[in-house]
Structure 1
Amino acid sequence: MPTITVRFFAAARDAFGARETRLSAGTVDDLVDTLAEAADEQATTVLSRSSFLVNSVAATDRGAALSEGDTVDVLPPFAGG
């Protein structure tokens, strides 16, 4: 499986306690599963509500293959108005 960079924003950064990490994942769904395995309840909740960007493009097909060196952004819902 390819090694990718995962960047966390806002509540995801708080929940995972990091700005970014590197891990192996074949798809965004694989990535979510991998992150959820080691996550606490708060982080799992954030993941379930987040959207994802792959190389700055919305991941509309979370089953699409990731490639070595891709960057996936975890974007929780943002408050504001």
Structure 2
Amino acid sequence: MAKVTVRYWAAAKAAAGVAEEPYEAGTLAEALDAVRERHPGELARVLLRCSFLIDGDPVGTRDHDMVRLTEGGTVEVLPPFAGG
């Protein structure tokens, strides 16, 4: 398990009620499961529409179970943004 920081942006930040928080997880899927457990309401619904960056790299369509997290890393939670 890696200690990571999950950072929320825009609607995800509003739903979580915090800008960031620490988690321990080995994969992105495990981290998101922990986020849903801690925030079972609106944030769980927002996550369905989000994209993610791991240490600055886009996850894209990769299986979240296959995206490994590194000690001290960052997971950015990015809801869809309007505009350009």
Q: Same fold (TM over 0.5)?
A: yes
User: How many Å apart are 1:37 and its aligned residue?
Assistant: 1.1
TM-score (norm 1): 0.91
Instruction: Tell me how many residue pairs correspond in the alignment.
Output: 81
Partner Cα distance (1:20, 1:41) in 2: 17
Matched letter for residue 81 of structure 2: F
TM-score (norm 2): 0.88
Residues 2-81 of structure 1 mapped to structure 2, 5 A cutoff: 2-60=2-60, 61=62, 62=64, 63-80=66-83
Q: What root-mean-square deviation, in Å, do the aligned CA atoms of Structure 1 and Structure 2 show?
A: 1.2
Partner Cα distance (2:44, 2:51) in 1: 13
Q: Unmatched 5+ residue regions in structure 2?
A: none
Q: Which segments of structure 1 move beyond 3 Å, counting only runs of 4 or more?
A: none
Q: Unmatched 5+ residue regions in structure 1?
A: none
Partner Cα distance (1:33, 1:50) in 2: 14
